[in-house]
Amino acid sequence: MSRTRIWKYSSRSDFSEYLIAFLAIVLTAGICFPLSHFIGIFSVGLILLMVVAVLALFLGRWPLMFAAILNVLVWDYFFQKPLFSIGIMQIEDLFANIADLLVAIVSVILITRIRKSKTILQNSQERLIILNNFLESMNNAKSIAEAVQIAGENLKKYFGQEAIIYIKDKNSNSLFSAPYGNSDFHNANGIAIAQSLFIKSSTGRPGDSEKSTDGITYFPLLDPREAIGVIGINLETYTPPGEDKILLFKSFITIIASTLGREISIEKAMEKELLDHSEKLFQAVLNSVSHELRTPIAIISAAVGNLNDARTSSEPEKRRQICVELESASNRLNTLVENILDMSRIESGLLKLNLQYCDIADLVGLVVKDLKGELHGRKLNISIDENLSLIKADISLIRQVLVNILRNAMMYTPSGTGIEITASNNPAGMVSLSVRDYGPGVPDENLEHLFEKFYRVPGSRSGGTGLGLAIVRAFVEAHKGFIRASNEPDGGLRITMIFKAEK
Amino acid sequence: MEKSKIKYKVLIIDDEAQIRRLLRMTLESNEYKVFEAATAKEGMQAVTMNHPDVILLDLGLPDESGLKLMGRLREWSAVPVIVLTVQDSESVMIEALDSGADDYVTKPFNAGELLARIRVAIRHSLRMDESPVFRSGSLEVDINSRVTRLNKQEVKLTATEYSLLLIFIRNAGKVLTHSYISREIWSAPYADNAQILRVHIAQLRKKIENDPSVPELLITEPGVGYRMKILPLPE
């Protein structure tokens, strides 16, 4: 990236300009010399003066001064009597020489002054454009790192080098030790200066700037509310280190500081939001687990209370009913504890599969037997391909998968409705196993969350921890299988699993 | 147990069928007539159809939160509501009490305790204990003559202590939230009076409790408020 030149009003005074001035005057004099008899020496003087005026349009101040003086000397030497000598014979020649010199010098001064103010105007316009561009690109920054990167690119473009930027540590009132930007400037001395400057600025005594021994000048980055960091740049390597450059650099610093301040506040706000969110999630988990744990305990305690009351426990029918409630509550607790243990096994990464060839028909038979007592009049329709391929699976895990899916179906569908279990070979060398119920289904927009841990379909009945289907998905995926849920066109939810077939 | 022929009606609004069945068993053997509802919607219908004398309300209902149901109920009915919940966060309890619940019991609950709360709630709503003399344990307060006695010895109460005691007597057996007490006595929010209230309660306990360090009458409901217990009279 080429460096844009912005410091051009300084006078160019190199040797070539003196040479141009010299040649222009001497050549004009040479051309005029043979003509001076016809046009008179005063015309020659005017011509030379005109040359000086023309030179003033493009030469620097001191070459012009040189041209102005040379013009008078040449006129005197070659054209005024006595010829070929510096000196005057008549008093009017002296006046003419003085007038010539004055006119030449005054016009040089005026012209260079006009040119200088024009350059200043141009420069400030250019600075405005630079600042505007910089401001716009900084406005587009979407993170601290991006803001620092854009700042670095622009500093490189306009100041020829990247700066080093230390930013305040979020948790303590000191600078974060890893800087952004130019790491060449990163050294112990620099950190010490940056730290002290930062502490000064953040205790309400903003230091202006401080220079280290290796020539790097550090400026505090001040947001209207607080000091947010320190920026360091080597201002000495640029010539000329004019006032204007420092001014421009300070404007840059202000823009960098306010952009970083903005990004830091945004980042803080986002962190807080994230924290709030995880707190809410934690609360929801705690509520759901504590509800699930306490409900069976409440049932057990109420049942025991009734057993202790002679008026209820004296009737055999009531005693029997209380025992049914006790049994179902303890089953419920057992399931919950198993689910929690399964989940922690999955989360801790200790899930190891004991893979065996497994016939899905056998498995379904086992599970149906497990759940016989929980069907409450629901009819299970089982349809399994006769030549269904075997799969390689951990039988106890897949059994748990099927139990969880069926329990889930029973929980959310009215008793007396049917549940279908289907298993078939799939042309792609896969086995698909699906469970379909005739309940209310799940709103389409919630389907994708169904297998998420602790997810509960909004408005669904209480009970359930939100762990069952999460465990199902984890177990299926541990077998490199796929699982998805869909609503049937005529009502009800279908959960389909696909496993690799083993021939 | 009320030895009367009237069977009081209790409505259980809880989505756990097992809890409903067991509560029904407990309540029926204690001579209550029981109605059940599993959702807020059913609950509301049961209130209008069966006119229960007391409602046992679970806060975690599937279709609407119990708190919302209570808000709607309180727009037109003063039937006593005892909140029955597994959530034991104090803020939920305070919210329930402030939105009109008469009492709360956390699950798992003790059947005896629940029955006692039901009796208190019914007695309050039927204004059965507006007697001029309040007795609980060894405390006796004659409301007409403003005389308080502990173990038959008269105790002197300051005006604030007496009005505090009166609030507890009028709501005997019920839990009163800090903010309720504060509003009743100072007509000001609890936050302004938290410390003062604690001091007054301590003062009152010194005068009406046999052992102020182990209060038996004026007991603390941690994080929620205080409750005046109705104790049997000493032998």
CA distance A462 to chain B (A): 6
| Domain shared by B120 and B149, yes or no | no
- With beta carbons less than 8 A apart as the criterion, state whether A426 and A432 touch: yes
| Domain shared by B161 and B220, yes or no | yes
Alpha carbon B160 to its chain's center = 22
B221 within some domain: yes
| Domain shared by B104 and B186, yes or no | no
Note whether A196 contacts B: Cβ–Cβ < 8 A: no
Query: Under an 8 A CB cutoff, do A459 and B110 touch?
Result: no
User: B-side interface with A, Cβ within 8 Å?
Assistant: 15-16, 18-19, 21-23, 25-26, 29-30, 60-63, 86-87, 107-112
| Domain shared by B184 and B220, yes or no | yes
Q: In chain B, which residues have their Cβ closer than 8 Å to the Cβ of A374? A: none
pLDDT for residue A396: 86
- With beta carbons less than 8 A apart as the criterion, state whether A294 and B107 touch: yes
| Domain shared by B157 and B87, yes or no | no
Alpha-carbon dihedral sign for residues B30, B34, B36, B41:
negative
Please provide residue A43's backbone torsions phi and psi, each rounded to the nearest 5 degrees.
Answer: -60, -40
Query: Under an 8 A CB cutoff, do B107 and A300 touch?
Result: no
Beta strands in B59-142 (DSSP E): 81-85, 103-106, 133-136, 139-142
B48 within some domain: yes
Residue A161 DSSP class: S
CATH number at residue B66: 3.40.50.2300
| Domain shared by B66 and B168, yes or no | no
Alpha-carbon dihedral sign for residues B190, B191, B196, B202:
positive
Angle formed at CA A310 by CA A308 and CA A312, multiple of 5 degrees = 90
- Write out residues in chain B with pLDDT < 50, as ranges: 1-3
> HSE of B36 in the Cβ direction (CA atoms, 13 Å)?
15
Q: What is the CATH number of domain A141-332?
A: 3.30.450.40
Q: Which amino acid is at A229?
A: G
Alpha carbon A122 to its chain's center = 36
Pairing mode, if any, of strands B175-177 and B225-228? antiparallel
pLDDT for residue A374: 80
pLDDT for residue A9: 41
In 10 A of CB A33, how many CB atoms? 12
The total number of structural domains in chain B stands at 2
Tokens 């065996």 map to which residue? A356
> Residue B111: which of A305, A322, A461 has the nearest Cβ?
A305
The interface pTM score, or ipTM, of the predicted complex is: 0.71
Please provide residue B149's backbone torsions phi and psi, each rounded to the nearest 5 degrees.
Answer: -130, 140
Interface probe, candidates A312, A324, A411, A456, chain B, greatest B C-beta count within 10 A: A312
Query: Under an 8 A CB cutoff, do B87 and A291 touch?
Result: yes
Q: Alpha-carbon distance B170 to B164, whole Å? A: 10
**pLDDT per residue as tens, chain A (503 positions):** 334 444 444 445 578 889 999 999 999 999 988 888 888 888 888 898 889 888 888 888 888 888 989 988 888 888 887 888 887 778 888 888 888 889 888 888 888 888 888 888 888 888 888 889 999 998 888 888 888 888 888 888 887 777 888 888 777 677 776 777 777 777 888 888 888 888 877 776 655 777 777 778 888 888 877 788 888 887 776 544 566 777 788 888 888 888 888 888 888 888 888 888 778 777 777 777 777 788 888 899 889 988 888 888 888 888 898 998 898 888 888 888 888 888 888 888 778 888 889 999 999 998 988 888 788 888 889 999 988 999 999 988 899 899 999 988 988 888 888 999 999 998 888 999 999 999 888 888 888 888 888 777 776 666 667 788 988 999 999 899 999 999 999 889 999 999 999 87
B66 within some domain: yes
Interface probe, candidates B1, B16, B18, chain A, greatest A C-beta count within 10 A: B18
| Domain shared by B15 and B120, yes or no | yes
- With beta carbons less than 8 A apart as the criterion, state whether A479 and A394 touch: yes
Q: Alpha-carbon distance A256 to A419, whole Å? A: 65
User: What's the pLDDT tens digit per position in B125-134?
Assistant: 877 666 788 8
**Two structure tokens written together for A451:** 């297998």
pLDDT for residue A7: 43
User: What's the pLDDT tens digit per position in B136-154?
Assistant: 888 999 988 889 999 989 9
Homologous superfamily (CATH) for A356-502 = Histidine kinase-like ATPase, C-terminal domain (3.30.565.10)
| Domain shared by B101 and B139, yes or no | no
- Radius of gyration of the CA atoms of chain A, in A: 46
CATH number at residue B153: 1.10.10.10
pLDDT for residue A204: 66
Domain boundaries, chain A: 15-134, 141-332, 356-502
| Domain shared by B209 and B155, yes or no | yes
| Domain shared by B113 and B174, yes or no | no
B235 within some domain: no
Interface probe, candidates A279, A285, A294, chain B, greatest B C-beta count within 10 A: A294
Note whether A322 contacts B: Cβ–Cβ < 8 A: yes
| Domain shared by B160 and B121, yes or no | no
| Domain shared by B91 and B21, yes or no | yes
B1 within some domain: no
**Two structure tokens written together for B66:** 């119990």
Residue B203 structural domain = 133-228
B68 within some domain: yes
Among B63, B92, B125, the domain boundary falls at B125
